[in-house]
Amino acid sequence: MKAPQDVFTEYLANENLKMTPQRRLILDTMLKQEGHLSSEELYVYVKKRDSSIGQATVYRTLKLLSDSGLVEPLDFADGVTRYEPSYGKDHHDHLICERCGKNIEILDDTIERRQEELAAEHGFTLLKHKMYLYGICADCRK
Amino acid sequence: MKAPQDVFTEYLANENLKMTPQRRLILDTMLKQEGHLSSEELYVYVKKRDSSIGQATVYRTLKLLSDSGLVEPLDFADGVTRYEPSYGKDHHDHLICERCGKNIEILDDTIERRQEELAAEHGFTLLKHKMYLYGICADCRK
DNA sequence: TTTCGTGCAAACTATTTGCATATCA
DNA sequence: TGATATGCAAATAGTTTGCACGAAA
């Protein structure tokens, strides 16, 4: 599997876009973080490494990373778009504790298959789906 | 089953809030519309019936309707929160055409059941879920 | 008759964009 | 060299909020 940095560089070249130190740094920072980062959060980390980088560049780069398939936007419906590295990772959905915010990655073949079937039954070609389960985790229920 | 208007009145009384002509009109307008309305869209309809009503009142009332269980907020990830009447209606998910915006209500017992099981396997008590399937419909594929 | 609601406009938050300058290919 | 990227600040879009006045319980 290609390194993410190479994937990004190739994507940029393909689109007649350019690799820059900013883009390299933002991708690197994104990949080093675990879990789900908002643009704002990523911006904070990025600024620690290069305080001259502007917030707009982070927004713009995240869009590129998303278009190139390296990260995936998540939508927990709190008004903030978060991203997670997705390159080389299996698809998964999310199980979220409404009390403590705990966020567990889940995957279920039965559901995935039924989603395909359901779409087909309605004449749709399925492109993607979003599934979020919200509940209270065991710790919070104690 | 109680009338939605009564449900709303009771909810308000319970919360020490008041029924007003505006709230009555907004609920009534919401229920008369089919499908998924944003606050902005609802505001346009509401203004046709009473042009003195302010947009903030529509936002505030939608929140109350949501809290009282009469309507449900939807999140199609386009930056706009939409609502649909949910009182007395069965739960369902959405299958959305990315090209024409067609929006089909779907429901699948197998998926619903697996969602419960998945949550339980992780120690969660499931409160709710969101599932959106995105694809291209037959018409748009022609 | 007091608490709550309303309309208005201003405030807010997340994100996007215009522009002059700086940088990559 | 010429197209693209950057940082900044201003602009945008959806939504929320402060306030003085008006209305429901």
Of the pLDDT bands very low, low, confident and very high (cuts 50, 70, 90), residue B76 is: confident
Tokens found for residue A59: 């927004």
Supply the pLDDT for residue B63: 98
Three-class SS state of B44: helix
Q: Where are the alpha helices (DSSP H) in A1-142?
A: 4-14, 21-32, 39-49, 55-67, 109-121, 138-141
Supply the pLDDT for residue B45: 97
Q: Are A106 and A92 in contact (CB under 8 A)?
A: yes
Rounded to the nearest integer, the mean pLDDT of chain B is 95
Identity of the residue numbered B57: T
| Dihedral sign from CA coordinates of A46, A52, A55, A58 | negative
Q: Which residues have a Cβ under 8 Å from the Cβ of A21 and sit 6 or more positions away?
A: A50
pLDDT tens, residue by residue, A63-96: 999 999 999 999 887 889 999 999 999 999 999 9
For the segment A87-111, the average pLDDT, to the nearest whole number, is: 93
The long-range contacts involving A12-16, CB below 8 angstroms and separated by at least 24 positions, are A12/A64, A12/A68
Within 1-60 of B, beta carbons closer than 8 Å to A belong to: none
Q: Are B119 and B125 in contact (CB under 8 A)?
A: yes
Q: Is B131 exposed, middle or buried (0-12, 13-18, 19+ CB in 10 A)?
A: buried
Report the protein residue whose CA lies nearest the C1' of nucleotide C9: B56
Is B134–A141 a contact, with Cβ atoms under 8 angstroms apart?
no
Supply the pLDDT for residue A101: 82
Least Cα distance to B68 among B27, B25, B107 occurs for B27
Least Cα distance to A85 among A43, A126, A129, A31 occurs for A31
pTM, two decimals, is 0.89
Question: What domains sit in chain A, N to C, each tagged with a CATH number?
Answer: 4-85 (1.10.10.10), 93-141 (3.30.1490.190)
More confidently predicted of A99 and A39 = A39
Of the pLDDT bands very low, low, confident and very high (cuts 50, 70, 90), residue A98 is: confident
On strand D, nucleotides with any atom < 7 Å from a protein CB are 3-9, 13-18, 23-25
Tokens found for residue A32: 């080093």
Q: How far is B21 from chain A (nearest CA, A)?
A: 31
Mutate to test the interface with A, among B117, B118, B126 (most CBs of A within 10 A): B118
For the segment B32-61, the average pLDDT, to the nearest whole number, is: 96
Identity of the residue numbered B79: G
For the segment A17-35, the average pLDDT, to the nearest whole number, is: 96
Is B104–A122 a contact, with Cβ atoms under 8 angstroms apart?
yes
Q: How far is A117 from chain B (nearest CA, A)?
A: 10
On strand C, nucleotides with any atom < 7 Å from a protein CB are 3-9, 13-18, 23-25
For the segment A27-41, the average pLDDT, to the nearest whole number, is: 94
Is the pLDDT at A116 greater than 90? The verdict is yes
Is the pLDDT at A132 greater than 90? The verdict is yes
The full DSSP string for B54-90 is: -HHHHHHHHHHHHHTTSEEEEE-SSS-EEEEE-TTPP
**Residue B29 CB closer than 7 angstroms to strand D?**
no
